Amino acid sequence: MRAQSLVPAAAGATLLAFTTASTAAHPREPVRVEPVSRVSRVSAADLLDKLDACEPVSRGRYRTDADAPADIPVCGTQDAVFWKADIDIDCDGRPGSRCNHTTDPWFWPSTAYKQSDGRYLNAETLPFIVVPAPSGIWDHRAHGVGAGSVAAVIHEGRIQYAVVGDIGPHHLIGEASYATAKGLGLRPDPRSGGAPSGVTYVVFKNTRVTHIEDHEEAVAQGEALVRKLVRNE
């Protein structure tokens, strides 16, 4: 069962800290990648083959749920970090017809990061993933991951491009927005949707879309980055 992405009791102070930290999440200038032609897409199978071996970059391991074993490491390559987990549905952020207090018992009307106009993200329409809060297990910021980092989420032959848009509990991993799950062809219901396993999350180091809400740019960068990772171009 999904834990709330931001703990309400400390949401104000924590959100401020995360928002401030996001400006330091990219130690170098973000990698800018030119869009590639649609015909040059790399298959999900090719990408998974490239990520077959895990070189752990986390000091410990994560749980997918509070009562699940801690057996998921964050792995790394020169250009990306990745993990294999389940997918729980994050409906937090701006409320809508699909994501609100009625549809989601864990709903929280904010996300760790905001879009360029100052509003919180819309989980119904924006594909984004959730990364664990920095801890002794792993600190995503040390690997060039933060607000708007480009991600690819893989499930059963599909690739859904997304951005890093929210921060979750420090001990849990495997969560993405309503729109991410829908794009993967999964049931996006926050109560019972998602998938229990078989989901791979890839986040590219030192990347960032200009505006976190710009999904078109996330796709363009993501396709080029995946092509570069798989084909060493």
pLDDT band at 41 (very low <50, low <70, confident <90, very high): confident
pLDDT over 70, % of the chain = 82
pLDDT band at 2 (very low <50, low <70, confident <90, very high): low
Q: What is the 3-state secondary structure (H, E, C) of the chain?
A: CCCCCCCHHHHHHHHHHHHHHHCCCCCCCCECCCCCCHHHCCCHHHHHHHCCCCCECCCCCEECCCCCCCCECCEECCCEEEEEEEEEEECCECCCCCCCCCCCCCCCCCCCCECCCCCECECCCCCEEEEECCCCCCCHHHHCCCCCCEEEEEECCEEEEEEEEEEECCCECCEEEHHHHHHCCCCCCCCCCCEEEEEEEEEECCECCCCCCCHHHHHHHHHHHHHHHHHCC
pLDDT over 90, % of the chain = 81
pLDDT (tens digit, 9 = 90+) per residue, 188-211? 999 999 999 999 999 999 999 999
Average pLDDT over residues 101-110: 96
